Amino acid sequence: MKVCIFGAGAIGGYMGVKLAKAGADVSLVARGPHLAAMQDKGLTLIEEGETTTVPVTASDDPAALGVQDYVIVTLKAHSVPPVVSKMAPLIGPNTTIVSGVNGVPWWYFYKLEGGHEGTRLESVDPGNVQWDGFGPDRVLGCVVYPAAEVIEPGVIKHIEGNRFSLGEPDGSKSERAQALSKILSNAGLKAPVRPKLRDEIWVKLWGNLSFNPISALTHATLDVLCTDDGTRAVARNMMVEAQEIAERLGVKFPIDVDRRIAGGAAVGAHRTSMLQDLDQGRPMEIDALVASVQELGRVTGVPTPTIDTVLGLIRLRARTAGLYS
């Protein structure tokens, strides 16, 4: 089985090292100094105090890598539509696109029971670029749990977690899902195949939707924003609005809002990804994490006054920093 990781940053690089070390036929698409370092010295992973360096096949030209069995997309959501056409050389008749992207996925309404089946989401797939370019029948969902960072070109530091939950849009335990699960498991990663992956998407999205923009607006770490009376109330209201949307779409939450917020506080003095992106001058995942939930509110008829307010604020904050258009 040939596996290509498209977007070999922190998470993609972490997967790449684990797969390469296990002997999988894996290649990576990257660019810039990070790619140059991988091609020159291999890809290095620092995990639990141990340093591992493996030679990897890496390129900025997908055509050089050929058709794959699996293409695992680990880019940020806003970075995917512009590169859909560039990915074409990787995709053959039987290629599976594994969507390991944060937020509401572009394929959310594909094979979803109920009256919204087939609905497209402009906030995460403007112009239906992914729906039309990949085709939703190719997609295998993935919820990414690990945290990692690129500490220098070609070097990944693993922080925590090793689970990549997989799921078909229709909830089936397909051969392709089970085969990828086995590949990832052989590399020391947890890769359960879930019958209701959308439930997991929402539990993770709960925190990303609220904690990320609030932290970018206030520059507060998770432990602070989850315990301050004012910001905790804002986060809670956003999560309650999101829960009503999700439940109208058939999602069942395994925990309640207050427990989810307590879990965020327990992480400690963590700087969210959106705050890190703001500080480092990188585009933020505003549409995938916040605007998408607002759009789902419109689809389901659920008012989202708190989400609307925070979205307006974080969009303006990003625009004034030159990070959103």
Looking at residue 257, what is its pLDDT? 96
Supply the pTM of this predicted model.
Answer: 0.94
DSSP states along 44-110:
EEEETTEEEEE--EEES-GGGT--EEEEEE-S-GGGSGGGTGGGGGGEEEEEEEEE--SSS-TTTTT
Query: What is the model's pLDDT at position 114?
Result: 86
User: Do residues 144 and 173 touch, judged by C-beta distance below 8 A?
Assistant: no
pLDDT at 325: 81
Q: Mind listing the pLDDT tens digit for each residue in 5-60?
A: 999 999 999 999 999 999 999 999 999 999 999 999 999 999 999 999 999 999 99
Tell me the pLDDT band of 195, cut-offs 50, 70 and 90: very high
The structure tokens listed for 198 are 């959308």
Q: What was the pLDDT predicted at 270?
A: 86
What pLDDT is attached to residue 156? 96
Can you tell me which residue has the tokens 């599976």? Answer: 96
| Element housing 160 (H / E) | strand 155-160
Domains of the chain and any CATH numbers: 2-195 (3.40.50.720), 198-320 (1.10.1040.10)
Q: Categorize the per-residue pLDDT at 201 as very low, low, confident or very high, splitting at 50, 70 and 90.
A: very high
pLDDT band at 82 (very low <50, low <70, confident <90, very high): very high
Write the DSSP symbol of residue 289: I
Dihedrals φ, ψ of 167, to 5°?
A: -170, 140
Alpha-carbon span 90 to 107, nearest angstrom: 20
Name the residues annotated as catalytic. 204
Whether the per-residue pLDDT at 119 is higher than 90: the answer is yes
